[in-house]
Each structure stands twice: as C-alpha cells, then as structure tokens.
Structure 1
C-alpha cells in the first residue's frame, strides 16, 4: 500500500498540487463567514441546568447585561461638586440615547427617584437629580438623599463620596464594545476633571472578541514568518523550505475554513487553532527534510532517497500524528462546547497535516530541479552547532545515566508538590493585561464601590407543592366542591386564575347552601385565601425577614460588597410612610402592610424596577449580590459560605434557594471544565499508552514512551503551581498539547533506536548514530515549534501570552526529557530492551 501511494505521487505530482490548491480555495472562500463568540455563557451546553435557570431568571425578572461607567474625583469634596454632577448628568442623558441602550432601565443619579415623606401616611417620588445642583445647600441635600436610600448608597455613589457610577443596561451583549466606544466618545466631549472608567463583564467579553479577531490576523502570520526564518536558518534553500510552509498554510486554511463553513463560531479557544496548527503542521516535514538532506548526495537518485526516507519515517510519523490527534480529540470528552470544537478541529488538523506531508512533500521534492538541491549537500545536520550540543547531551546521558535518572525523579517529585498548589480560577476581565483600560477600570471602580460584578440569589416558592396541597385539602370537602375542583384541575387556565374562579363560584354557591355544605364552602373559601397567601410568598413579612437575614449573612461573610433586595424597597417605603425616622426602617407586621408599601412604590417614576426584584405573582424574588471580584474562587467562597448558612438556618419548607448570574455561571463552567479535562487527560493517557504498546509490541517500550509525556505534564503543571498561576481555560487545554507532542519525540527516538540497533546489534554505536540525524531532527522540531509560538508572547491578551509561554516551555522540556531521560533509561535497561 505504501509503495503504491509513493508510486502514484511520483507519477502524478500535478494532480497532488491541483487537489491541494482546489481544497485550499474552497475552504478559503468560507473564511469571510466567520462569527466571533466570546460569551463565557456559551462555555456551557444550551441544555445545562444552571444555564437554563440563569436565562429563565433573566426573563422572569427582566434583567439585562450591564456596562458600568464610573467617574472618580479625588478632590476633598469628591464627586459632590457642581462640575462633576453636571458632567454625570450629561453623560447619563446622552448615553441613554445610544442605540442598543435600554434607556428606561439606565441607573444614574439623574435617572432614579428620591423617596421621601409627603405628609402623614403618604410619600412623594421625585427625580433625584433632575438638574445638576449648583449651590452647596442643594448638593448637601442630594448627598443626604442618597445616603438615606439603601438601593443607591455605595452603588451609585461610593461610600467615600469620591466616585459615582452609571449602570447602562444593554439589549444585546454582543454590542457592548460598540456601545462602550460611543460612551467613551461622549465622555471625551464633556468638560470634566474627573477620571472616567468603563468596565463590566459584557464589555470585557465583547472587547476581548474584537481584539481576539485582530490578534488572529496577527499571530498566525507572525508564527508563519518565524517558522520560515527558522527553516531558512536550518536549510538555506527557499525552494526547498517552500514545501513545509505550503503544508502549514494549507492545513490552517482548510481546517479554519471547514470549521467556519460548518457554522461553528470562533471562540477564544478556536481562535488559537491557527497558531496551534502552524508550528505542528511542519513537524513531520522537518523530519522528512532532515533525513533527506542527510541521505541526498549529488549522485543520488532522488526518488530512491525519498522512498528510503518515507520507509524509515512513515510508521513513526503515522503514530506520532495519531497520538497527537488523540491528545486533542480527548478534549471532546469535556462538557465544554468550545473546548470540544477546539479539540476536534486541532486533532483533525494534525491528521490532515500528516496526509498533506506524506503526499505533498514527496511530490514537491520530485519536481524540484536537480540544481535546486545542490546546496543541500553542504547542510548535513550532524555538522551543525545544534547537532554538536545534542551529541554532547547524548554522551552525558549514557555515561551518567544513574545521575540523570535520579535528577528527573527528583524533578518529578518536586513537580507533584507544585501540582498540589494549583488553584482553579478564571475571570474574563483578567484576560486583559494589567494596564488595559478595562482592567484598570475594574480595579479602580471596585476599590470605590460595593462591586461591579453581579450574582443573583434566587428564592422561589414551591408552587407545585402548594398546588398539590390545595387539591389534597379540597378533595376531602363536600362532593360538590371536590368534583368541581377535579373537573377544572387539568384545564389550561393558570392555577392562580383557577383560584379566583373557584372563589367566585364558592361565594355564589354559599348564598343557597345550608348545613354541612355551607361549612365546607366556607372552609373552601378559607383554603383559597390561605393558598393565595402562600403563592404570594414574598408579600409575607416572615419571608421578607428571611431575605433580610440572608442579606445580613452575605454582608457578614466579608466576601460581598453589598446586596439589594425587595426587602430594601419595602423597608424604605415603610420608613417614609411612618414618618421617616430610622427606627421605622423595618418590614411591616402584616401582609397588608407589605402590600401597601409595594403599591405606593408603583406610583414612582420607575415602577418597573419593582419587577427586577420580584415576579408579578410574588412567587419568586431575587437578591442582587454585588461582588468586588469576578474570580471563580471568590464566587465559590460566597456560594459555600451561604450554603452552610442556609443549612443552619433554612427557609420554610415551601421556599427553595438557587444561584444565577454571569459571575456564578463562570464558576459553573470552570468547575465543569476542570472535571472534564481530568477525564479527557486520563482517557487519552490510557489510549496513548495502549497505542505505544501496540506500536512497539512491548509493554516496557510502551512505558518508556510515556516517560517524556508524564514528566513533561508533571513539570509544566508543577511550574504553574510554583509560579502561583491560576488554572484557567488556556492552561487547561495545555494538557492535550503536552500529551500529543511529548510522546511524538519519544516515538521517533525509540522507533529509530530500535531500527538502528536491529541493524548493528551494538548499543553504543546505536546511541552514537541516534545523536546524529534523528536527535538533530527532534531538536530542530522542538526549536521550530517553540519559537513558532513566541509571537503570542507579544499579544495584548493574557490567554495568548499564557499559551505562548507554556507551549514554548513544553517543547523545551519534552525535547530535553526525550534526549536525556530516554538514553539514560535505555542504558539502564539495555539488557531488557535492546534484544
């Protein structure tokens, strides 16, 4: 089969070139269809329970994603000065007019109500800052009003009075970057001495998407340029190195085009596919070219040389490609859709690169003119500086094999300690460098305010249990009642509406009823009233008091800046109805008192704000939790603290409590990713080991092949632990690349060592020959791949920098382990393995 393929390539090179060109053109035509997606919500499947619940809560409470604009004034009077307040008014008013901004929900000093007593038993709602105050008296009144309103204090104005914020709700989070630029233009046009900042998860995510798109257009070409320069340094023949560059570019174009053409969006992970594939795609080409250069002489028959090279390298290249692909395909076992897509297409790209290398490189070499290859006679790699260093490594490894083994075992032990120090954490805002405006804004505003990150603690009445209890109690009443209820039980009418219909019916029946039926109808009416009270759970003073208790626990945790809830609304209105004294800032004693306070609030300029805290049937309420950090660790700490508190002080049995919000969703997908990555790594590790045993037909050789992989993974993740680098999304996928490429070097080394030993039966000679061309090719591959990723180090986005640094480190470490550890192990076990 292999011979037939090679013969076809030699006889039909133009068919090969035409096929590669046609596929490249077809897939390249799909690239303009690209769609960018950086929403971390999409890290979870659409049917994920937490994601569905989060979106349901957003719909139930009409919640929107927010951009946070903050103005900071460090003068003694802080933000409470005429110029700053006028600027805030102008910025808020003009921001409300931007397309995509939900103007009626915008929160700013100029767009919210002041609640104050209008007289005995009545209150008045007026715009808090309809016009910017110019006198000191008016400014002091504004300050006092904000301090009296718990929903605004330390939310719209910081507790130190140095900053004020504008919360900008947006209809589509994918427009965040565009809206933020328009807000910035407004800020630039305003006469203000304040420092303005723009932040928030939506703008961070959408801005990242924009910059990611730009970075995709820079990093891949830069990687290609670096690889080209390295190949030129190694081979110094433009026509010769054009082939691997064509293979790399064709691989990237075909894979990215196919992915986009199939309708997949480009997420943060899939945006790195091109930069991953560009260096990996030239690996096999370098092996072929290195060996071709070693064997090619002026009098050589190039077809014979190519056949000999393919015969030597086909099997190890096939297995290295498969194992690398398996490493990435293992990511499809994770429950994170963007990671699955990334793994699938990088794995497919590696296999495609192998096929293109096998068919295109020989076809290209066989068509080169003889004079184009003349310069190759002077490029024997065994005579290069790199080869000299590699030979020294080989001699040292064999002579000092015991010391080398002890050294690597020590490194492994220390690495395991480092792995145990790893902390799982991520935050989209931290995807930017520390000096990025969004990162700076996040730091500054969270220093002044209660927090720019939101999470929602959701309390829900168990309507199903209430409904079931009602039907059970109604079934034991008079047959007239129970049968009437049973007939309507399965109707399409809402249960609350059914209760009202039954109430009218029962009151009508009561006019003519006597004796036991009259008693049962009165019980039925009482049951309906009780059920209505249970359904309107968050008009209940007891349940509102429990919400206040949860807010107190959140504050006492030391992890939360502030929380807002329906209880705060009720307490504020109740205080003003009862004279305005601080002692009256409390929950009314009765459900009727609560209902009165809520009814009063609905006469404000923003009555719809009430439905951001409670559903219109009062069966569910939400506590807005403000956090100063969007890190998963901090969100997890809040969740764990509240879980313990709720376990010790549970609500009544008809109330359930859950979490929602973007900050909470980030915690969920991060935990899912860690669990999924662990499963994929273990599964891939087992599969690769079995493949190694199959390839070498030896369990011992299979174990030896896994050594570089095991040591590299341990060292890299140990290094992450030592450096205190958080385990985030980019770090998580490094295991797949480590697994694939580390075992590649081992396969080439062990397979070639066995083949050479089979010919000469001399271990020392085998090691000497191994550290000629084979080891030189391995080292060149490591250098090309490592330096191929270095353009990422100059990216403005932290995930790219992280991947660039650690991938270069992976290449260096895995090559070092292969060229030092494997010779030492072969020397120690030569009586068992070299037979």
Structure 2
C-alpha cells in the first residue's frame, strides 16, 4: 500500500505540488480574519449553569469587569494623603472618567465617592470625599480623617497604612482593558508626581496576554521551526532535502490555522499553541522517512525505487503513529471546555494533513530533486556516518544502549519501578491551580502590579455571593387566600369588593417582580380608599394591611435578621483570613445608621427593625451616588450580593473561600428561604479548572484504551500492544511526577500536554517494535541479532527525531509568557523521555521473554 501510494505520487509530482499549493493558499487566505479571545469565561460553554448564574448576577446587580489602578507613596510621612498626591489622584480620576469605554458613574476612587457624615441628629450630609484637589496639608488630613471613618473604603480605596490609594475602573467590555490601561499610563506620565502607579486586575491581565500572545505566535513557531531546520541540516547535510519537512510543517500549520479561523473560531490561549504543537508532529514522520532514505540511498541509485522501498517499510508505522496521535487529540473533544475541544479537533485535522503530506508530498518532493543533489547528500551523509562509526568502533552509544538492557534486563526494570514509585509520590503532590496573572513572568509589570497592590489592599480579585429569597410565589399565593377570606367576609355583609380587587390585581400584573406587584397593589388600594364607600373602607384598610405585610415579607433584605446573618458570614470570612475583605448591604446600612443616630462608632450597628433599615436606605438615596445601592441589593430587596475581595487569583485560594462559606452555612444556616449562589471571575476560573481536570482525566483514559486497542490490532499481539504503551505510561508518569516534586502547578497547558505525550511517546514505540519485527525476519529469528540491527539505522532515526524536536523547542524558554515556556520545557522533556524509554526499557522487557513477546518468529535457543 505504502509503496503503491508513493509511486503514484512520485509519478504525479506536479499534481501533488499543485494540490498542496492550492490548499495552502485557499486556507491561508482566512488567517487575516483572526480574532483573539483570552476570556477565561469562554473556557465554559455559554449554557454551563455556573456561567449562566455568574452572568445573571452581573446583570442583576450592575456589576462590571474592573481594572485596578494603584497609587503608592512611601516617601511622604502621610503617604498619599498629601496635597500633591491627592491632586494627582483627583486629576487621574477625572481623566479616566472621560475615557471611551469606561463606565464613569460606577468608577470607584476617593475622588468619585461620598463622604458620609452627620449634619445633625437624624440628618446626614452627603458630599464628595474630594470635591476639589486639596491645597494644604490640613485639607489632606481632613480627607484622611473622613476616610478612616468609612470602613467600606478601608482596604478597598485606601490601604490601611495610608500609603496607597486605588481606583476601580469599570469597563463596558473586558476586551478594551489593554487599551484603557495604555491610556491610563499615558495620563500618569503627564501627572508629574513621584508616586508609583500600578495597573492590574483580571481583565487587563487577560487582554494584555491576548496582545502579547498574538505577538508571540509570530515569533515562537517560526523560531522553533528555524532551530529544527538547522538541526535537520546538521543531520542530513543537504539543504534541499531538509527543506521538505519544513515545507510540510508550514503547509500543515497554515492550513490548520486557516481552517480554524475561516470557520469562525476565535484564537484562544490553547489554539494559539496549535502551530507549536503541530510543528513537531508534522516533522516527526517526515524525519523518519528522510532518515531511512538517507541511510539507504547511494550515489547512482534510483531515488524512486529507494523511496518506494522506504515507504513500503514505514507505511504502517507512519500511519499508526499519526492515527494514535490524532486519537490522542480527538479525545479532547470529550472535555467540557470549548477552547480545548477546538484545540483537540484542529490538532487532529493537522495531524491528518501532515500524514497525507508525509505519504504523498515527501516522496514527490524527494524524487523531484536533481540526481546530483541527492548524490552529494548521500556522500556527505555517508562520510558523517563513517566518521561516527570510526569514533565508535564498539558500536557507539546506541549499540551499547541496545546491548545493556538485553544483558541486564532486571536492573533496567528495577530502575523503571523505582522511577514509577517516585513518580507516583510526585503525582500525589501535584496541585491543581491556574491564575491568568501568573501567565506572565515575575518581572512583567502586571505581575509586579499584582504583587504590590495585593500586599497593600484587601485584594484586586473578585468573587460574589448572591443571596436569593425563595418561596416568594408561595407567599403571594398565601396572601391571596388570606385576602379572599376578607372579601368573603365583606360579601356576607352585602359588600361586593371582588370586582374592584380583581381589577387592581390585573392592573398590577405588569410589575417586574412579586414584590413590585405588591407595592403597586398597595398604591392602587390606597388610591381606591378615597372613592370607596364608607362601610367598605374598614375592609379595604384590612386588605391594605395584608398587602403591606406581604410586601414586607417579600423584601427579605430589609429584614435586620437577614442583614445580621450576612454580616456574620462576612466577619467569619475576614477572621479566617481566606479573603482580604467583604462589603455588603449590611456595611452600608450600619454606616448610615451610625450617622443618623449619633455619629459615634457605638452606633455602627444594624437597626433593630425593618423600618429602621428602610430609613437608612431612604437616606442613602439622597447621596451623590444613590445607584451604588443596587450593586448590593435588587430593587425589590429579594436578592443581595456580598462583594469578596481576594488577595490572590489562584484557584486554590478561591476553593478555600468556597469551603469556608460551606462550613459556615452548615454551622449557621441562612434565614428560612434564603439560597446561596456564586459568581465572579475568580469563581468562574475555579469552575472551569475543575471541569478541565475531570475532562482531561476522562479524555486521557479513554484515549489510552483506544490507542491500546489500536496497538494490539497493529501488532496482532496483546503483549506487544501492552509493550507499546510502556513508553507512554512511563513518560507521563515521570513528567507529571517531576512536576509534582518541583511544585509546578497543574494548569491548562500542562493538562493538554498529556495528549501530546500520548501521540509522540507511542510514535517511537511503534517504530521500534515494527522495525524489530522486520529485522527478526531478516536475521532468521535471532532476536539479539535483530536487536543489534534495530540499534543501527532505526534507532538513529528515533534519536534524530527526539533531538531535532527537543532542541527545536528550547527557544520557547526565552518567551515572555509562562504558558509558552511550559510548553517548551514539557515538549523537550516528553521527546527526550519517550525516546529514552523506547530505546532503553523496551529491549529489557523483550529480553525477559523474547519468544513470548515476539512470537514464533524468534527461533528456539
């Protein structure tokens, strides 16, 4: 099959070249339509329940993605509370408010929030905290004194030590955060103050990563390709020959990315790595083919016949290695993470493209070269081989490697067992964690800003607890039954109130919520009292009282008991240290209540009655920013939000917060009918990370089984099939074991690399076992002689592949983005480990029982 296909392509080389060019041009034309997406929310499908709830919470409370700008002054004795720093703070606030895409009304800064202080008993003066830039230190001191009286600002807008101030900048869309950050930096440069300014926050980290990722895409893959090209040039000593795998890799990458973009998919962090992943996959098979060709070709040979023989021997290994790699990545389609599904699907497409080009384009290209070129290549290659043989008269490193495990299989297997034991321990130490800010190196300005601001403030990462009153419909139904009894009583007195009540009930049907409907009903009844007959007024008053009581019952978060429970939860979380700070409606009510009563801290408490809560809320409606109230409670007071500030975006931190809340709720159940839901970017990161881990484990397990079945089918032997999976098993165990031992977090790039391990690790095993079986036939069943033969040209091909790819991706270590560094390190490690295991461990297991493993082809000793 392989030889026939190769001859067909070699005889129609122009048609093959034309088809490849047309494919590359047609799909490559789609690439300029590229759209970048680094939003972690899109790691979950739009219908995923947690994401749906998260978006509902954002819409319900008018919450937005925010950039955090920090201003730090450690030189002045009063920190930022000096005229110059506060004037800069004021100017920066006004400039940010004018930026396109900033939601100015919700911007939080000392220069954009209220100062709440008593103007007299029962009266509050709501003025801007910084109405104008202070001109004297006394004015700056008064601002500081005012801030210190407002607990909601401490640790949020101002650091506890007064040396830093923060601005929370809400955005219309998170994908403009990089532009806004650059505009803010431009304004800061013109302020002319010595204060330090830092910009961070999840949106700007994600958007900046997208910008730098796009730049890195244009650097990493070509640089890796260049190094691979130079490595192949060193091995094959023929520029025209090594151009072939590079053209193949370029055609594969361009076609795959073009199809992805052309089908309307955005380029996420994972899909941005498709070129990097496809480069080794595309090159590996072609290097095997060219290595065999270079070993076999002699000056004067017919390249067509030599290539035909090569493809005849390698067709099965090349086909099955490609299929196993494709299966490995196709398994990612079973994960619940859309970007990972896209990544797996299109990598699989690229693998198939690379397979077809290896089977068709490489033979066509090779025979299209001039005989003189091939003869010079053969001479150079032969001189290098002779030099290597002379330097290694005893068979060289590969020869010794092949003989050692055959002589001492027990020692090798014992070493493998020891490695696996250590690896299992290391795997148990792995911590599942991800944080978009950690995608940058430690010296990146976003990482620096994140460290500085989270050390000084309560936290720049956010999560929200949504408290929702349930059973409201049942309460309304109970109210209607109660009112029906009143209507029945009036009817017995000869008063027909039903028609008027039915009309009012219908008129209130357009209300947004049950609570709003009851409020509308109360107003309608109150208006109706003016026209009601005197003898009916007592009944209408009774109905009004019932409606008012029902309305109060549905307005759960005007109930002091509900607010007290929220306050207890907040205090518990702050005391345990799992969060930096929490703000809720309870904090706002306590602040207003203090100023309404006396202005003293002893009155910083919740009112005893719902009417007292309502009074504080009514007072706040006279503030400069009355709509801030609706960030904490819905207008019908049936739902409330607690804003959590976290000093770290790590999933592990968020997980500890969730656990702490769960424990508190178990020990202190919320008021009857109140349910708790989660939202916020940090929580969403935790959700998708958990789904990714579960999905990747399922994908890896299912792919492992499928590949094992394919290996058994390929070799028609259960033992050989299991043996072929050894390099994969040992490689994954060793790599992840080391990862756990060195403390490397299990994140998205690491998780997906397991699929690449599956493909590339099995690749070497297939070539080794298949060539060993062929060699066994050549030497008449002497397995030791066959092993010696395998450790000649076939082993060299495996080593060349491993070296070419491993070296090729070392340039990624210089990338400014951590995921690219991770991929570079792990790719090199996977290639080196899987090649070593294939060449060193497989012979040891075969040597234990060669006839049992290799079958009757092994002659009896």
Normalising to structure 2: TM-score of the pair?
0.93
Q: Could you say which residue in structure 1 is the equivalent of 2:467?
A: 459
Distance in 1 between the 2:483 and 2:327 partners? 62
Distance in 1 between the 2:760 and 2:546 partners? 70
Q: Report the more deviating stretch, 100-109 or 224-233.
A: 100-109
Question: Could you tell me how far 1:134 is from its partner in structure 2?
Answer: 2.9
Deviation string, structure 1 residues 19-59 (Cα, Å, up to 9, x no partner): 00011011111110000000101111000111111111111
Three-state SS of the structure 2 residue aligned to 1:624 is strand
Question: Could you tell me how far 1:528 is from its partner in structure 2?
Answer: 2.2
Question: Could you tell me how far 1:209 is from its partner in structure 2?
Answer: 0.3
Give the alignment's Cα RMSD to 1 decimal: 2.2
Would you say the 8 A contact 2:36–2:268 is kept in 1?
yes
Three-state SS of the structure 2 residue aligned to 1:281 is helix
Q: Which of residues 425, 430, 433 is equivalent to 2:438?
A: 430
Q: Could you say which residue in structure 2 is the equivalent of 1:690?
A: 709
Question: Could you tell me how far 1:389 is from its partner in structure 2?
Answer: 2.3
Would you say the 8 A contact 1:68–1:166 is kept in 2?
yes
Distance in 1 between the 2:101 and 2:422 partners? 53
Three-state SS of the structure 2 residue aligned to 1:230 is helix
Q: Which of residues 441, 445, 450 is equivalent to 2:453?
A: 445
Would you say the 8 A contact 1:382–1:773 is kept in 2?
no
Three-state SS of the structure 2 residue aligned to 1:621 is strand
Q: Could you say which residue in structure 2 is the equivalent of 1:772?
A: 792
Deviation string, structure 1 residues 149-173 (Cα, Å, up to 9, x no partner): 1111121110011111111111111
Q: 1:501 to 1:602 in 2, by over 3 A?
A: closer
Three-state SS of the structure 1 residue aligned to 2:464 is strand
Distance in 1 between the 2:342 and 2:152 partners? 43
Q: Could you say which residue in structure 2 is the equivalent of 1:209?
A: 210
Deviation string, structure 1 residues 631-656 (Cα, Å, up to 9, x no partner): 10001001101111011111122111
Q: Could you say which residue in structure 2 is the equivalent of 1:227?
A: 228
Deviation string, structure 1 residues 133-159 (Cα, Å, up to 9, x no partner): 232322221111001111111211100
Q: Could you say which residue in structure 1 is the equivalent of 2:491?
A: none
Q: 1:40 to 1:24 in 2, by over 3 A?
A: same
Distance in 2 between the 1:411 and 1:33 partners? 48
Question: Could you tell me how far 1:245 is from its partner in structure 2?
Answer: 0.9
Would you say the 8 A contact 1:826–1:833 is kept in 2?
yes
Would you say the 8 A contact 2:579–2:657 is kept in 1?
yes
**Residue 168 in 1 paired to residue 169 in 2?**
yes
Distance in 2 between the 1:238 and 1:134 partners? 73
Distance in 1 between the 2:268 and 2:830 partners? 24
Three-state SS of the structure 2 residue aligned to 1:335 is coil
Distance in 2 between the 1:657 and 1:211 partners? 38
**Residue 806 in 1 paired to residue 806 in 2?**
no
Distance in 1 between the 2:363 and 2:848 partners? 39
Question: Could you tell me how far 1:299 is from its partner in structure 2?
Answer: 3.1
Q: 1:719 to 1:49 in 2, by over 3 A?
A: same
Distance in 2 between the 1:752 and 1:370 partners? 28
Q: Could you say which residue in structure 1 is the equivalent of 2:39?
A: 39
Distance in 1 between the 2:647 and 2:595 partners? 31
Three-state SS of the structure 1 residue aligned to 2:111 is coil
1:469-548 to 2 correspondences below 5 Å: 469-470=478-479, 493-494=511-512, 495-500=514-519, 502-503=521-522, 508=528, 511=532, 524-548=543-567
Three-state SS of the structure 2 residue aligned to 1:734 is helix
1:661-740 to 2 correspondences below 5 Å: 661-740=680-759
1:808-827 to 2 correspondences below 5 Å: 808-827=828-847
Question: Could you tell me how far 1:478 is from its partner in structure 2?
Answer: 5.2
Q: Report the more deviating stretch, 76-85 or 598-607.
A: 76-85
Question: Could you tell me how far 1:676 is from its partner in structure 2?
Answer: 0.6
1:242-321 to 2 correspondences below 5 Å: 242-321=243-322
Would you say the 8 A contact 2:3–2:312 is kept in 1?
no
Q: Could you say which residue in structure 1 is the equivalent of 2:399?
A: 391
Deviation string, structure 1 residues 613-636 (Cα, Å, up to 9, x no partner): 111111111111111111100010
Question: Could you tell me how far 1:398 is from its partner in structure 2?
Answer: 1.4
**Residue 89 in 1 paired to residue 90 in 2?**
yes
Would you say the 8 A contact 2:508–2:521 is kept in 1?
no
Q: Could you say which residue in structure 1 is the equivalent of 2:115?
A: 114
Q: 1:697 to 1:148 in 2, by over 3 A?
A: same
Q: Could you say which residue in structure 2 is the equivalent of 1:591?
A: 610
Deviation string, structure 1 residues 642-672 (Cα, Å, up to 9, x no partner): 1110111111221111111001111111111
Deviation string, structure 1 residues 337-383 (Cα, Å, up to 9, x no partner): 11111111111111110101111011111211111101232314865
Deviation string, structure 1 residues 159-191 (Cα, Å, up to 9, x no partner): 011111111111111011111011011111111
Question: Could you tell me how far 1:744 is from its partner in structure 2?
Answer: 0.8
Q: Could you say which residue in structure 1 is the equivalent of 2:675?
A: 656
Q: Could you say which residue in structure 2 is the equivalent of 1:402?
A: 410
1:551-700 to 2 correspondences below 5 Å: 551-700=570-719
Deviation string, structure 1 residues 393-436 (Cα, Å, up to 9, x no partner): 11222122110111011101110010000011111001000010
Distance in 1 between the 2:303 and 2:695 partners? 49
Q: 1:619 to 1:219 in 2, by over 3 A?
A: same
Distance in 2 between the 1:464 and 1:431 partners? 47
Query: Unpaired segments of 5 or more residues in structure 2?
Result: 489-495, 857-861
Q: 1:140 to 1:490 in 2, by over 3 A?
A: closer
Q: 1:795 to 1:256 in 2, by over 3 A?
A: same
Would you say the 8 A contact 1:326–1:347 is kept in 2?
yes
Q: Report the more deviating stretch, 70-79 or 340-349.
A: 70-79
Question: Could you tell me how far 1:596 is from its partner in structure 2?
Answer: 1.3
Distance in 2 between the 1:467 and 1:350 partners? 61
Distance in 1 between the 2:702 and 2:507 partners? 51
Distance in 2 between the 1:702 and 1:742 partners? 14
Would you say the 8 A contact 2:7–2:304 is kept in 1?
no
Q: 1:291 to 1:474 in 2, by over 3 A?
A: farther
Q: Report the more deviating stretch, 86-95 or 493-502.
A: 493-502
Deviation string, structure 1 residues 677-721 (Cα, Å, up to 9, x no partner): 111011111111111111111111111001100000100110110
**Residue 127 in 1 paired to residue 131 in 2?**
no
Distance in 1 between the 2:480 and 2:387 partners? 88
Would you say the 8 A contact 1:332–1:339 is kept in 2?
yes
Three-state SS of the structure 2 residue aligned to 1:282 is helix
Q: Could you say which residue in structure 1 is the equivalent of 2:859?
A: none
Distance in 1 between the 2:540 and 2:120 partners? 43
Q: Could you say which residue in structure 2 is the equivalent of 1:57?
A: 57
Distance in 1 between the 2:421 and 2:340 partners? 30
Distance in 1 between the 2:520 and 2:109 partners? 44
Would you say the 8 A contact 1:547–1:567 is kept in 2?
yes
Would you say the 8 A contact 2:799–2:835 is kept in 1?
yes
Q: Could you say which residue in structure 2 is the equivalent of 1:71?
A: 71
Deviation string, structure 1 residues 742-796 (Cα, Å, up to 9, x no partner): 0111111111111221232111110010001111111111111112221211100
Distance in 2 between the 1:500 and 1:578 partners? 28
Would you say the 8 A contact 1:382–1:388 is kept in 2?
no
Q: Could you say which residue in structure 2 is the equivalent of 1:748?
A: 767
Question: Could you tell me how far 1:520 is from its partner in structure 2?
Answer: 8.0
Question: Could you tell me how far 1:588 is from its partner in structure 2?
Answer: 1.4
Q: Could you say which residue in structure 2 is the equivalent of 1:14?
A: 14
Distance in 1 between the 2:736 and 2:3 partners? 43
Question: Could you tell me how far 1:8 is from its partner in structure 2?
Answer: 2.3
Would you say the 8 A contact 2:633–2:641 is kept in 1?
yes
Normalising to structure 1: TM-score of the pair?
0.96
Q: 1:465 to 1:822 in 2, by over 3 A?
A: farther
Distance in 2 between the 1:476 and 1:316 partners? 84
Distance in 1 between the 2:810 and 2:37 partners? 25
Question: Could you tell me how far 1:466 is from its partner in structure 2?
Answer: 3.4
Q: Report the more deviating stretch, 27-36 or 148-157.
A: 148-157
